[in-house]
Amino acid sequence: MTDSPSKVVEPNFLGQVQLFFDDASKYVKVKPEIVTMIKKCQAIIEFNLPFKRDNGSLENILCYRAHHSYHKLPCKGGVRFAGDVDSEEVQALASLMTFKLAVVDVPFGGGKGGIRIDPKKYNQFEIERITRSYTLELCKRGFIGPSIDVPAPDMGTNSQTMAWMVDTYVGFYGNKDINAYGICTGKPLELQGVNGRNEATGLGIFYGTSEILKNLDFCKKYNFSTPGIESKSIIIQGLGNVGYFTAKCFSEGKAKIIGIVEYNSGIYNKDGLNYDESFQYFRKNGSFKGFPNATFYDNEHKNEVFESECDILIPAAMEKVITIENAHKIKPHIISEGANGPTTFYAQEVLDKRGIGVLPDFLMNSGGVTVSYFEWIKNLQHMRYGRLTKGWEKKSKNELREILDIKEDMNIQGPEEKDIVYTALEGIMSQCVNDVWLKAQELNINMRRAAFIIAIERVAKYYEETGMNF
């Protein structure tokens, strides 16, 4: 890139994803027609939802659901409620889901959905009716089901949203689908959710970042004086579900959260912030103003926190927050992306030139969909993890203790579901981060490009081996 920042026009989110895709596709040994096939979104529906509000006013609410790839089924991806969601944003997110699923080797195709509302402007009863109506329309169009498309929470949605969706689906199909609870993930535990899903994305970011910081070559390349997470300084942008659990995991890993940025304010303390106190204060007051033992930055100056020196910068909110305009201002050693699409294509070029490492979004935030996969399997098996083996593992470990003549009571127990989920997630994230790093080293490229190459080649392999020709 030779143009100055003032002359560069940043494309929209879909354009960003396609730029990264095109950049990586130059390195893959895949037929051009298959590359073109993979790039395109295979199906998208858009419909208006007539809606009568509690005050009697009428609205037409725009709704979307995109299926990026049918190379493996079901499609998988979140549903977001946001006032600015549109068709291209949903297609971009569905595309990223395909590549995310491929890079962590989870057997789904990418999907994504959206409803164009600001959930803060609607009461809970209205949100429930909108959710149920949206789900019903997807059912009518055959665009949802355990073997078709499996939504999950995203921006503006949560486990309650998923509970309404599954209940609507069950009501529509009655007793005709014994796997009905597999139509979405991120459900409450009482509705066959999986223990560990709520924190999975933040936990995955922690596992992936921890793993790469064990690598001495990586640490040397990005100027870390010591390996490991402990004592590393962290700045997090966004304190929603992903940001909160990311902050929690890094804090428990003995890293130091020195800055937090939200949409309207920020706080900074070089000696460290308490993530939970920060979260509770913001949730109660709607701003960080008045938060004790920290420097407060209002909306006009909050970017000063984002641009402060730190070891690891974690954007965990919106897309396109690191752009050509600010990529030369931020000062981390590495960026570990928690949000989808936080770094633009041209910003990546600037960061590469500056020697700032980027752990890409569709690798680092894949913990959520990985644990969603575990939940989906649980729903199809109709059995919670550990139920069959917990007693046996406890018995065998106690027998081993007797063989080894260990006298002290160790209160040995079999694993709970959360133990199994955490262990599996850590193993998958560790393996995938190392795979991407090795590919980056092999080709002397950045990790985002390497992750795209791995994803494209895995999807292409399916088409090539099956002879499918869409």
As annotated, the active-site residues are 112
Pairing of strands 109-115, 75-81: parallel
Cβ–Cβ < 8 Å for 81, 53? no
Pairing of strands 357-359, 331-336: parallel
H or E element in which residue 393 lies: helix 390-403
H or E element in which residue 129 lies: helix 124-140
Q: Return the structure tokens found at 44.
A: 């998208």
Instruction: Give the whole-angstrom CA distance, residue 246 versus residue 205.
Output: 7
Cβ-Cβ contacts under 8 Å for 446 (sequence gap 6 or more): 348, 352, 357, 358, 440
- Cα–Cα–Cα angle for 91, 449, 442, nearest 5°? 150
Strand order in the sheet with 256-261: 295-297, 266-268, 256-261, 233-237, 309-315, 331-336, 357-359
Q: Return the structure tokens found at 170.
A: 């069950």
